[in-house]
Amino acid sequence: MSDLERLLDLQVHDTEADQLRHRRATLPQRTTLTELSAKEKALEAEVAEPQVERDGLAREQKRIEDEVSMVEEKIALVDRQLYGEGITSPKEAQALQADLESLRRRQSSLEDNVLALMEEIEPIDFVLAETAHAVGALNDDRASVNQSLSEAEVAIDAELAVNISGRDVLLGSVPTAMLADYQRIRSVSGGIVVARLQGSTCQGCFLTLAAGEVDALRRLPENEIVNCPECGRLLVR
């Protein structure tokens, strides 16, 4: 095998490695994960306002419930005063009874407000629960896709490792100067450095060379490095 044939083999390895890296970077699972994240953000956006409303209602419910507790404490205090042994006059008893009735009306009104707030919160909680369920399903899907992505990456990495191992073997058999030219041309030629000359056509740029050019190339020594006069790629004659 000539040096150019080895270089051509090296190019096959490099092209395959590029394809593997591209396939790894563009695995369909990555697109699916992006789509799942977009769906999750959309769901979170849908419930952002209801969540704010729910939080406000919950704070108001807590405030009223705290007030109910305070009223209940006052009722218990007045009740002890009313039915305790310290009452000595009917007038004082009537005043305490009036306070007790007022506090109980206040308690009833506050409890009605709490019930009203709970009724407002209930449908919002239903929406939030439905959204949480949907997000949970998305997370399950994400876990499954991540697992599939990991397995696909492992498979590609295994192929790439074999490729790199074979490439390393070839590197030792390619002259240093030729390898330097190969790397230089590869960086500007779209990855195709070495091409066969089939008939009068360069398989790198697929342009047909003039008959005189082809004849001149054929007359050169077999081991002499030649470039395509059209694209500059190394030619295997």
Q: Residue 106's domain is classified under what CATH number? A: 1.10.287.1490
Residues 8 and 108 grouped into a single domain: yes
Q: What percent of the chain has pLDDT over 90?
A: 61
The two counts, helices (H) then strands (E), for the chain are 5, 3
Q: Do 101 and 42 reside in the same domain of the chain?
A: yes
Domain boundary among 154, 171, 188: 171
Contact (Cβ atoms closer than 8 angstroms) between residue 46 and residue 106: no
Q: Which of 171, 201, 224 is the last residue in one of the domains?
A: 171
Q: Which amino acid is at 109?
A: S
Q: Which domain holds residue 227?
A: 176-236
Question: pLDDT tier at 41 (50, 70, 90 boundaries)?
Answer: very high
pLDDT of residue 1: 57
- Whole-prediction pTM value? 0.71
Q: Residue 44, CB half-sphere, CA atoms under 13 Å: how many?
A: 8
What pLDDT is stored for residue 189 in this prediction?
Answer: 76
Do 125 and 188 have their domain in common?
A: no
Q: What value does the mean pLDDT of the chain take?
A: 91
Q: 167 and 73: one domain?
A: yes
Q: What is the pLDDT of residues 64-83, one digit of tens each?
A: 999 999 999 999 999 888 88
Sheet holding 194-198: strands in order across?
201-202, 194-198, 234-236
Asked whether the predicted pLDDT for residue 138 surpasses 70, the reply is yes
Domain check: are 64 and 25 in the same one? yes
Among the three residues 152, 171, 190, which one is the final residue of a domain in this structure? 171
Whole-angstrom distance, CA of residue 168 vs CA of residue 163: 9
- Compare 23 and 174 and report the one with higher pLDDT: 23
Residue 237's pLDDT is 76
